[in-house]
Amino acid sequence: MKFSCPQTDFNTHFSLVSRAVPSRPSKPVLGNVLVTASTDTQLVTLVGFDETLGIQTSFAAQVNESGSLTLPAKLLGDIVSRLPNEDIDISEDEDDPVVILACSAGRYQVRGLSAEDYPSLPEIESQETVKISADALIDGHRGALFATSSDETKQVLTGVHLTASNQSLEFAATDGHRLAVVQTIDEDDAATTDLNMKVTIPGKALRELERILQAYPSSEPVAFKLDETQVVFDLGQQRITTRLLEGQYPNYRQLIPNKFERQLTLDRKQFTSSLERIAVMADQRNNIVKLSIDSESQSLALSVEAQEVGSGLENLPAQVTGDSLDIAFNVRYLLEGLKALPTSEIQIQCNTATSPSVLTPLGGPKITYLVMPVQIRS
C-alpha cells in the first residue's frame, strides 16, 4: 500500500471514522481503523467499527500501490492531526504490518494489524433502497434527537423511533420525562411512495449521521436499506451502518392530550433568554422554575425561590386563553425543547399543574414537544 494525499483530507476522514472506534475494544483489531487504498479507483477508504456502529468514508488520493491494513485509531489520529497542512506520503513496509508517514516535518512509523482480522461491515441484501431527502432527515434529527434517554438500562429509549408511511416520516424520542415528535413530509421525487416501517435507531448512530449531513448537499437524497436487525445509510462517499434497537417502543401517542384548557402564545427567543438567566438561580435548587400564567394581565411570570441563596423573577407578555395557573418544570427540559423549535413564536398548552404540557412552534414544521411538570412544594 502506497499513496499520497493532503493532510487535511486524511485527518478529516480519519477523525470521522475514529468516532466509531470503541474506547475499550473487545479485541485489539477493533481499536484500529481499516485503511484500504485502490489503484483502480484512486480512492482511499477508511472504516471504523465497534460491531454495532460502523462508519465508512472514501476520498481521492494519488494511489501508487493497492493494499489494506488496520492502524491504531488514537495514535495515528494524534500524529496526523499535528502534521503540517501539506501533502503526506503513506506507505506500507514490505515485510511488517507497519506504515511510514513522511512529510517535510519528518517521518513516523506506526505498527498496525492485518486487515484479514477486521470484521466486515454488515451487508443488507434483497431489500429495495429507500431514499429520503436530507432536509427531512435533518429536521427530524433537530426536533427529536435531544429528547433521547442516556440511561442504557432502558436501551430502546436511547434511540429515535422512526415511523414511515407513504411520504410521511415521524421521528419520536422520549426519556420518560419528556417527548419530542416531529412529522415531516418527504417531497423528494426519489422518495419511495409505498414505504411503511417502524424502527428504533440508536441515538449514537443518528448523531454521527447528523454530523455527516451538515456537509452533505441538501439537494441529494439519502439512500438507506434496512432489515429486521440493521440499517445502512448511504451518503455517497460516506456510509453508516448500525444495529437497530430491540424492544417495544412506548405508545407515545396516547400520552399527548386531545384537548387543553389553557393556552398561551409568546416570543420564543424572549422566553428562552429569560429561562437562561433564571436558570442560574434555578441551578441552586434542583433546576426547577415556576411559571405563573396570568390570564388577567396577559403575562407569564418565571420565578425561582432558592433558600439561603436568593430568588429570581421575570415577567413576559403573553397571549393567554383560559384560567390562570401556576405550574413548574425542570428548566433544562424547557430550554432544550425551545431550542429545537425553529419559529419566532411558540405556543404552550396545558390543563393542570400535574398533567403534561405541550410546546409547539407557530407557523413552522410540525413539532410536538411534551414535557411533564414538577409538583410544586409549598
For residue 314, what is the DSSP state?
E
Residue 283: pLDDT band (50, 70, 90) is: confident
| CB atoms inside a 10 Å sphere around CB 184 | 22
Residue 307: pLDDT band (50, 70, 90) is: confident
Secondary element (H or E) of residue 243: strand 238-243
Give the pLDDT mean for 29-57.
Answer: 97
Q: Given a cut of 50, is residue 276 above it in pLDDT?
A: yes
Structure confidence by residue, pLDDT tens digits, 181-190: 999 875 554 4
Least confident of 3-7, 156-160, 354-358, 360-364: 360-364
Report how far residue 217's alpha carbon sits from residue 135's, in angstroms, rounded to the nearest whole number. 10
Report how far residue 188's alpha carbon sits from residue 191's, in angstroms, rounded to the nearest whole number. 5
User: What pLDDT does residue 225 have?
Assistant: 87
Structure confidence by residue, pLDDT tens digits, 188-223: 544 444 567 889 999 999 999 999 998 887 678 888
Return the C-alpha cell found at 225: 436499506
- In 3D space, the residue among 253, 165, 211 whose CA is nearest the CA of residue 55 turns out to be 211
Q: List Cα–Cα distances, 240 to 22, 97, 102, 165, 333, in angstroms.
A: 15, 27, 30, 23, 30
Give the pLDDT mean for 103-116.
Answer: 94
Return the C-alpha cell found at 160: 429515535
